[in-house]
Structure 1
Amino acid sequence: MANRVENMLTEELVASLQEERYVTIATVDHETGGPNVNAISWIYAINEQTVRFAVDSKSRILTNIREQPLVTVTVIADGSTFSMSGRAKVMKDSMENVSLRLGMVELTVSEVRDVMFYGARLTSEPKFEKTYDLEAAEKLDKQVMHALKQ
């Protein structure tokens, strides 16, 4: 049985990507040409074709995207695992009104695949907790998410 392939995000995935979520980002490494994978949580789906995310302005992710814009984001949601692929563009090297220096990237989604192995459904999604000042974390999260929505 073939896994589902779409050319845009489903309504359910858009909704899932409009709240804090653990995802991985795969870029093409600008030095080796191999895969480079990172985990992030600051991601927001603007619509079915557009996803924005924020990363540290010194992140290798930004350099990789500038050299090779092909990106895949993997998200666990709705009982399955999805890969969203497309072209990314660094929109800002430093986001305004955010207390950390973070870059903003916009991904134009061209393909969404359900990549969960056959015959299984996930019964829980990854959970994480902030390990630094919770008040500061909440303030920063609000700043970043507000900036991504603009």
Structure 2
Amino acid sequence: MSIDECQLVDLPRIQDPRGNLTYIEQNRHIPFEIKRVYYLYDVPGGSERGGHAHKELKQLLIAMSGSFDVELDDGSSRKKFHMNRSYSGLLIPQMIWRRIDNFSSGSVCMVLASEIYSESDYFRNYDDFLAAVRNKRNDEAQF
């Protein structure tokens, strides 16, 4: 996977004086079936989350409240996104290292995931991730 495949997705937004509404439909607004939803909140100032990659899982991250930064790394390039809109999601395919930091007070990061939790899907060590990326690129170069 390439960092270029990570992208911001504009979600439908229905504006109303009584309050706005945004909705998400699997395989329509995001290119996968939603199998798990979780959210990060009450993150202490100066803390970071993430620090891992997934072998198969795809995600959409949304700043439901407040803001935070997401740094993405595909093993050769890095890109940073500032998330602060509840109607915009960051699509992250598999095999992308992510780190989330700079959480504002009261921020909430909601994650829609393509797979249920499985520890075996994680790369938690950056060097192991880099080795897997190199191996995958070598395999693809042979074909």
Same fold (TM over 0.5): no
Per chain length, whose mean CA-contact separation is higher, i.e. which structure has more relative contact order (CA < 8 Å, sep 6+)?
2
What TM-score results when the alignment is normalised by the length of structure 1?
A: 0.26
By percentage of residues, which structure has more helix? 1
